[in-house]
Chains A and B, each alone.
Chain A
């Protein structure tokens, strides 16, 4: 089952952080790469993922490991 995660991040300020976050999330297995959308101004990340292969916690961890704290996340049906 594909799910869609909306992850609220702490305010994004640096120009290259979008690239980094995108690359980090893309490296998580089970994530639908073309669906990754880092929203610079909204400071949000939207991504579709396969809930049998990966959890939203794994995605959050990939982002937090980069040094960008996750404020909250919401998972809805894709």
Chain B
């Protein structure tokens, strides 16, 4: 019976509404016929049924919900024979619900369409070598899968045969097509626009880059800030308190109508819903544009940022440095020295090492053994039976490798020109000094200026590079402060210092080896391409490693945070307004109260929808 009533809530609302309309028409156009009270009674009963069922169910689990308040109010209205109010209140309450449902799904649309992009099926090779369609849950690591034109890549994996053009918008936030052939990495959720290939599954389901993105956004839309947790707690006691207040008012004044009006006016709807709707709309808008915000606490924190700390390589610079200058020791064969250099660097994924390898793609390589990585220093290895020390100046000093006065002067010259320095010693004799330089990203300067205008007072650069390079970048970009020779732990410690001074610090890095800073800062922003970025340690992920996204991200955070505040003001304002009008004026009644209450819920939802359409630029 209860289920039947709830299942037919819509029909009951329609009956309730049309009878109410009939009664109103009758009231205005005909002489007060007998039909009016009957129609209103039926309308009231039809309307209160589903509400009463919900009220009953929530009382069963010991929750005094809004349905309980409304049910008691309507029963009270029946008791004092104001059938019109009973019908109007139930109608507004039910119709309001349907409107809320419709508008709420709109606020959630952006995130929903993202999560719906997750692949569900895949063509998997079975024992007979044929490809059959299976559910994505049946795909495991190592499986061979087939993707055809127009199909979705189901997992993260490597292409083993075939080729094609893949749209990676779901990963990078940018609708760009990438060519893939055997050996290329492809990512779940991307779309094969043209071509056919087979791939081997490497990561499946929630392990894939796209799976992690979805997980993050899904969690983020419901993550709660402290303010919200407070409101939730508050509303748990608020509803019973309203009920109590109404009883007290009824007992003192002996005016049942007044008592039930208090019940209706005290409904807390907009307050509970205000922050979550802004949150989901703001996060949804970001997600559509490749900006992943980890939740409402992140939005609050980031919107108040006054200090931004940047990593250099890959953040302020393009991150594709090249060897700019080579100084070689005339006593050592340069070609052999470079072959030795490239052979060792090829084993490292340090940005400078990769720069070296990229600069010399075609040199002979030697076998390398006994490789030892010195954190924050470089590499010591053995090539052709000889010990090679490769790294920064400190590493040379620590290994008692001597630099002549000329070499010191020339390396200082290179450093002051903005080069990063790499030294290599073969058999404890200095062989090479390399100057490696990275280009600044386009627009960095103007974007930093825009950040300043948005209230970011301090722009700070912390880098593992030498001070000369760092100073040059800082001067070029007019940064507040720049510190070189910083290890990842030093950066994190420096951020802690800034926080002690009361600054709200955001750290921006490429997320590869800056986990301590990302975690320490009030807000950690990882700029990556969504595939290899440290999603776990950062609060905001920019899937597209585009520096131009920082300003829109900050603007969105500010807009979302304002939106939440507006919604709280609306919600609290409405309840305060209604209760005071009840005390000081005579025009208010249950019907108007319910109307204003439902309207305020719709207003906060519509206000949040504005965020979805907020233009990011």
A residues neighboring B (CB under 8 Å): 11, 13-17, 19-20, 23-24, 27, 37, 39-42, 44, 65-67
B280 proximal to A (CB < 8 A) = yes
A-B contact pairs, 18 of them (CB 8 A): A11-B105, A11-B108, A13-B97, A15-B269, A15-B272, A15-B273, A16-B67, A19-B58, A19-B65, A23-B63, A39-B218, A40-B222, A40-B276, A41-B111, A42-B222, A67-B2, A67-B53, A67-B57
Closest CB-CB distance, B55 to chain A, in whole Å? 10
The reply to whether A20 and B279 form a contact with Cβ atoms under 8 Å apart is no
Chain A residue nearest to B54 in the complex (CB): A67
Closest CB-CB distance, A69 to chain B, in whole Å? 9
Kindly supply a per-residue 1/0 record for chain B positions 232-245, scoring 1 wherever the CB is within 8 Å of any chain A CB and 0 otherwise. 00011001000000
- The verdict on A16 contacting B65 (CB below 8 Å), with A41-B108, A42-B221, A67-B3 known, is yes
Cβ–Cβ < 8 Å partners of B271 in chain A: 15
Cβ–Cβ < 8 Å partners of A27 in chain B: 61
Complex CA gap A11/B97 in Å reads 12
The reply to whether A13 and B101 form a contact with Cβ atoms under 8 Å apart is yes
Closest CB-CB distance, A56 to chain B, in whole Å? 17
The reply to whether A15 and B66 form a contact with Cβ atoms under 8 Å apart is yes
B176 proximal to A (CB < 8 A) = no
B26 proximal to A (CB < 8 A) = no
B189 proximal to A (CB < 8 A) = no
The reply to whether B61 and A41 form a contact with Cβ atoms under 8 Å apart is no
Complex CA gap A41/B276 in Å reads 7
- The verdict on A15 contacting B61 (CB below 8 Å), with A39-B222, A41-B221, A67-B6 known, is no
Interface size, chain B (Cβ < 8 Å): 36
Chain A residue nearest to B58 in the complex (CB): A20
Contact pick for B104, options A11, A20, A24, A67, CB 8 Å:
A11
Additional A-B contact list (18), CB under 8 Å, known A20-B63, A23-B58: A11-B104, A11-B105, A14-B97, A14-B100, A15-B66, A15-B235, A15-B268, A16-B63, A16-B272, A20-B57, A20-B61, A20-B65, A23-B62, A40-B222, A40-B276, A41-B280, A42-B218, A67-B53
Cβ–Cβ < 8 Å partners of B97 in chain A: 13-14
Cβ–Cβ < 8 Å partners of B67 in chain A: 16
Complex CA gap A44/B271 in Å reads 21
A-B contact count (CB 8 A): 73
Complex CA gap A59/B280 in Å reads 27
Complex CA gap A66/B58 in Å reads 7
Chain A residue nearest to B218 in the complex (CB): A42
Give residues of chain B (64-100) contacting chain A, Cβ–Cβ below 8 Å: 65-67, 97, 100
Complex CA gap A14/B268 in Å reads 11
Closest CB-CB distance, B118 to chain A, in whole Å? 14
Complex CA gap A37/B221 in Å reads 13
Closest CB-CB distance, B59 to chain A, in whole Å? 10
Give residues of chain B (28-65) contacting chain A, Cβ–Cβ below 8 Å: 53-54, 57-58, 61-63, 65
Most buried by B among A16, A19, A27: A16
Complex CA gap A14/B111 in Å reads 19
Cβ–Cβ < 8 Å partners of B65 in chain A: 16-17, 19-20
Chain B residue nearest to A25 in the complex (CB): B61
Contact pick for B222, options A14, A41, A67, CB 8 Å:
A41
The reply to whether A66 and B221 form a contact with Cβ atoms under 8 Å apart is no
Complex CA gap A39/B58 in Å reads 18
Cβ–Cβ < 8 Å partners of A17 in chain B: 65
- The verdict on A23 contacting B61 (CB below 8 Å), with A39-B222, A42-B221, A67-B54 known, is yes
Cβ–Cβ < 8 Å partners of A67 in chain B: 2-3, 6, 53-54, 57
Chain A residue nearest to B284 in the complex (CB): A41
The reply to whether B58 and A16 form a contact with Cβ atoms under 8 Å apart is yes
Kindly supply a per-residue 1/0 record for chain B positions 1-17, scoring 1 wherever the CB is within 8 Å of any chain A CB and 0 otherwise. 01100100000000000
Chain A residue nearest to B601 in the complex (CB): A15
Cβ–Cβ < 8 Å partners of B3 in chain A: 67
Cβ–Cβ < 8 Å partners of B53 in chain A: 67
Contact pick for B57, options A37, A40, A44, A65, CB 8 Å:
A65
Complex CA gap A31/B57 in Å reads 20
Cβ–Cβ < 8 Å partners of A19 in chain B: 58, 63, 65, 235-236
Most buried by A among B66, B100, B222, B268: B222
Cβ–Cβ < 8 Å partners of A23 in chain B: 58, 61-63
Complex CA gap A40/B58 in Å reads 17
Kindly supply a per-residue 1/0 record for chain B positions 262-291, scoring 1 wherever the CB is within 8 Å of any chain A CB and 0 otherwise. 000000110111001001100000000000
Complex CA gap A23/B63 in Å reads 7
- The verdict on A14 contacting B218 (CB below 8 Å), with A41-B111, A65-B57, A66-B58 known, is no
Complex CA gap A27/B221 in Å reads 26
Instruction: Return the 6 tightest CB-CB contacts between A and B, nearest first.
Output: A15-B272, A39-B222, A23-B61, A13-B101, A16-B65, A41-B280
Cβ–Cβ < 8 Å partners of A39 in chain B: 218, 221-222
Complex CA gap A26/B261 in Å reads 33
Complex CA gap A20/B55 in Å reads 10
Closest CB-CB distance, B503 to chain A, in whole Å? 32
Complex CA gap A66/B100 in Å reads 20
Closest CB-CB distance, A59 to chain B, in whole Å? 13
Most buried by B among A15, A17, A24, A66: A15
